[in-house]
Structure 1
Amino acid sequence: MRHALPLALAALLLGGCASHKPEDFNGTWINQEAIDAAAKGTSLRQALADHGPVFEWKVDVKNQQASFSNGFEAADGRLSANQNNWQVDFEGGQSEQLTLDGDELQASDPSGHQQTFARAKAAGAAPLGSSFEKALYQAYLGGDWKIAEGQGKGATVHFSDTGSVTGLPGPDRFALCLAGDCASMGGGNDSLWLERDQRGAPFIFKRDGDKLTIFKAVNTAQPDEIPQLAAGAQQWVLEKD
């Protein structure tokens, strides 16, 4: 089909299978299941692996566009309607089917793998992937932490949902590793980036409920190999206030 179906016809097609209007699909949708799993306070890597690989969708029915982010890469696709739902076609032949189940967006690929997404709150024109990241930061690291061990012991540490951190001696910005090169280099470990004035380094961390232990990252690979990061000396132990 050379052109996407007009919106009026798309509405008729969808009307036979659901009570949703085409514009109900519009907006930003985040992988709330992954966020909820991470918020239990254990391994971030495991939570994301169990509920991935896609963490956010943006759907624009009027412009026949849909995009997704996996925390490392983004893909833009062309949106069209078929008999039962919306289809998103990407370069290379990849496709996804989008449907609404109540207030949730369901995305499924040809293999049958399905993921569920919740509408992001006040996403507006936020860049693709940032709404999921913001919600994850708030759920996983939100609140106040006390430095129980390490430099600055006794200080209160606060991780914001925009990537700033206060209370740690030195760094004032952080980023959790969600996917991509940082994940592969860290193996099965959780890692984060800490920096100040655009200069920083990766760290390995372990979350166990209200306890967050941060280690220096040590590269165990040979000089001619891809870096492989492991936990080195303990840097801080943070405890939730």
Structure 2
Amino acid sequence: MRLSLALSLLLLGGCTHTPQTTDINGLWINQAAIDSAAQGRPLLRAIDTHGLNLEWNIDTHSGKAQFSNAFELGEGQLLPKAAGIWTVDYNGHGTDELQSDGRQLIQHTTKNTAGQVFSRPTQPAAADAKWGTTFRQALNSAYMGGHWKILEGQGVGNFVEFRADGSVSGLAKNDRYELCLGGDCATQGAGNDTLYLGTGDVGDGWIFVRYGKQLEILQAINQSQPDEIPQLTPGPRQWLLEKQ
């Protein structure tokens, strides 16, 4: 009996000291940027404050780490460095270092980029969705979700609903929208927040201003010549919406 008890205690003691492998497989999104924007702040400013990358998709089995940000998609080779720490090598064109405690994925600071923190998404996009879809849908839900009442503009008094999948109803004939997260659309907007509104494949870019529960959608006036890159400036207000 004493021998059996001693063996049991020894086995238990050995289990408590067995290191656990941190699983970083799957999707991670920049939830901090979403939470900041969801407080009713300007969108581009919230994203810029919380780092460049918006989403990581990691596969330790194939040794691949894919990232998406506002203007590009990229992939690197995932290499273990130490317990809970990995290096992402972009084929000799720089590296990133990732670390995880199981709850969060931390992208370490480099000489070119600030450190970032990523979280597991509560509702991952479909497996065949393009990179970045999970972040975008989470942002759409947090930043644009709910019902908005039209205070000024066409359809005054009606309610508008922006959905996570990029569909919209109640805003004239528009049935699609897409928030600009950076890249060309942000450059053309000269730092203003912009979004696309359209019906099917036909639509236009608009400038918007978000302050708390109110959303102002303005015409985007192109000040460039036809053969030049568009440079958009705020025009007359088309809609004023208030979140209910």
TM over 0.5: yes
Matched residue, 2:233: 230
Matched residue, 2:118: 117
Q: CA deviation at 1:220?
A: 1.4
Unmatched 5+ residue regions in structure 1? Answer: 1-17
Identify which of 199, 204, 207 aligns with 2:202: 199
**CA pair 77-109 structure 1, distance change in 2 beyond 3 A:** farther
Q: CA deviation at 1:98?
A: 1.0
C-alpha distance in 1, partners of 2:196/2:226? 22
C-alpha distance in 1, partners of 2:142/2:97? 29
Matched residue, 2:105: 105
C-alpha distance in 2, partners of 1:190/1:83? 41
Count how many residue pairs are aligned between Structure 1 and Structure 2. Answer: 223
C-alpha distance in 2, partners of 1:130/1:102? 23
- State the one-letter code of the partner of 1:158: E
Matched residue, 1:153: 156
Matched residue, 1:12: none
Identify which of 126, 133, 137 aligns with 2:136: 133
> TM-score scaled by structure 1?
0.88
- State the one-letter code of the partner of 1:233: P
Q: CA deviation at 1:107?
A: 1.0
SS in 1 for 2:139: helix
- State the one-letter code of the partner of 1:75: G
**CA pair 89-197 structure 1, distance change in 2 beyond 3 A:** same
C-alpha distance in 1, partners of 2:214/2:82? 50
Q: CA deviation at 1:39?
A: 0.5
Mean Cα deviation higher: 150-159 or 113-122: 113-122
Q: CA deviation at 1:82?
A: 1.6
> TM-score scaled by structure 2?
0.87
C-alpha distance in 2, partners of 1:19/1:161? 39
Matched residue, 1:57: 56
Matched residue, 2:10: none
Matched residue, 2:6: none
Q: Give the 5 Å matches for 1:1-241.
A: 20-22=20-22, 24-84=23-83, 85-111=85-111, 113-123=114-124, 125=127, 126-241=129-244
**CA pair 231-19 structure 1, distance change in 2 beyond 3 A:** farther
Mean Cα deviation higher: 92-101 or 205-214: 92-101
C-alpha distance in 1, partners of 2:94/2:109? 8
Mean Cα deviation higher: 49-58 or 87-96: 87-96
- State the one-letter code of the partner of 1:225: E
C-alpha distance in 2, partners of 1:19/1:118? 23
Unmatched 5+ residue regions in structure 2? Answer: 1-17
CA contact 1:52–1:70 (8 Å) conserved in 2: no
- For residues 198-225 of structure 1, the C-alpha deviation after alignment (integer angstroms, 9 at most, x for no partner) is 1000000000111100011101123343
SS in 2 for 1:194: strand
**CA pair 92-220 structure 1, distance change in 2 beyond 3 A:** farther
Mean Cα deviation higher: 43-52 or 77-86: 77-86
C-alpha RMSD of matched pairs (Å): 1.7
C-alpha distance in 2, partners of 1:71/1:239? 27
C-alpha distance in 2, partners of 1:232/1:41? 22
C-alpha distance in 1, partners of 2:215/2:138? 19
- State the one-letter code of the partner of 1:121: T
- For residues 18-61 of structure 1, the C-alpha deviation after alignment (integer angstroms, 9 at most, x for no partner) is 95515x10010000110011001020011011112000000000
- State the one-letter code of the partner of 1:28: L
Q: Percent identity?
A: 46
- For residues 148-195 of structure 1, the C-alpha deviation after alignment (integer angstroms, 9 at most, x for no partner) is 100111111000000000001111000000011001101110000001
CA contact 2:109–2:116 (8 Å) conserved in 1: no
